[in-house]
Amino acid sequence: MAEPIIKVRNVGKAFGALRVLKNVSLDVYPGEVVCIIGPSGSGKTTLLRCLNFLEEYDEGDIFFEGKLVGYLIKGNRRVKDTGNSLGQLRAQLGMVFQRFYLWPHKTTIENVIEGPIIVAGRDRVSALECGFDLLEKVGLRDKAEVYPSKLSGGQMQRAAIARALAMKPKAMLFDEPTSALDPELVGEVLEVMKALAREGMTMVVVTHEIAFAREVADRIVMMDCGEIIEVGAPTSLLRSPSHERTRTFISKVLSS
């Protein structure tokens, strides 16, 4: 079996007196799709943000391709990494948020090529070529010169996915990418994500879309109160979960 591309070992995180992650451990393998489910406040988004160090974790270790995320070991102590490695990590571990965070004063194609040119140092011609290909991939080639204010929510989220893919990441993180969308726009974003999964993109997806998780995930992770309480294949975890909290959560989500 291949080595995990992401390793999470006994990770803890607190905001003041509130412990939002407690002894969390998880492996994600190359080409795998892992969907994280659970109630609001269970620590899902915090875990995702710790993976690329948008949130500092207090305990344990996170590794991406064998390299410790966010920290350096100096002597017998761990210190925060303030060098260029974080930028390199975030380029390789792309993230798509609930909100779109597109530059409002830039067109769709300009949003997509900004990172490759400014961060990765690619020339504008090759960045544009790649950018147009990615907009074609997410069904937005005809919106290349349109500003975000003229796009629907689904189109903006697809543009955000193209922007993340433009950095040629080795894995993608999705934080409830459809939660801010009107119901009729959810499907167009999920179809793009399904296509990425079919192409073998490594993905960690925080989602309430149980049908999507059932269809696409290799494994589903159930979180509650800052802990991973159950991990399994969709067929087993969704049909016959072993933990009572998982059964309760799934029944409520499916009945809503």
pLDDT for 250 equals 92
Averaged pLDDT for residues 230-239: 94
pLDDT for 1 equals 62
Does domain 6-255 bear CATH number 3.40.50.300?
yes
User: What global pTM score does this model have?
Assistant: 0.94
Residue 88 has pLDDT above 80, yes or no: yes
Residue with tokens 């499907």: 187
* % of the chain beyond a pLDDT of 90: 83
Averaged pLDDT for residues 3-8: 96
In 10 A of CB 51, how many CB atoms? 24
Q: Is residue 177 very low, low, confident or very high in pLDDT (cuts 50, 70, 90)?
A: very high
* % of the chain beyond a pLDDT of 70: 99
pLDDT for 256 equals 62
3-state secondary structure of 57: coil
Rounded to whole angstroms, what are the CA distances from 62 to 52, 203, 240?
9, 16, 30
Averaged pLDDT for residues 150-169: 95
Averaged pLDDT for residues 153-157: 95
